[in-house]
Amino acid sequence: MVFRFQKACVKYGVPDVDLFQAVDLMERKNIAQVTNTIFAIGRTTYKHPEWRGPWLGPKPAEENKRSFTEEQLRAGEGLIGLQAGTNKGATQAGQSFGATRKILLGK
């Protein structure tokens, strides 16, 4: 019975890495993997437009290829992105964290 379910899942388009093993369900060895398979089926339903039932989980990302001209690619070479980091103008002036510390000197 479990093997038929797994074959049907593969035929439907569920990746085989997302399928549970029979022992996971029958002997309750890895219920988390069984749950993962259910969510994988839910994700796969997004690929079937004939499906009219409820969705389970987020819609998988779709490929979004972009093409740039040589001129556009060269225009970005001279820019330094903000992720490169900079410390220009970075100081600790004006920062105040809580009350000042008072140190009393003994006599």
Residues 6 or more apart from 20 whose CB is under 8 A from it? 30, 33, 34, 36, 37
The mean pLDDT value for 45-55 works out to: 90
**pLDDT (tens digit, 9 = 90+) per residue, 4-13?**
999 999 999 9
* Per-range mean pLDDT, top range of 21-25, 77-81, 96-100: 21-25
| Numbers of helices and strands, H then E, in the chain | 4, 0
- How much is the pLDDT for 27? 93
Q: Where are the domains of the chain?
A: 2-47
| Residue carrying the six token digits 């039932």 | 53
The mean pLDDT value for 18-40 works out to: 93
Q: Are 10 and 16 in contact (CB under 8 A)?
A: yes
**Alpha carbons 82 and 65: distance in angstroms, whole number:** 24
The mean pLDDT value for 21-50 works out to: 93
pLDDT band at 89 (very low <50, low <70, confident <90, very high): low
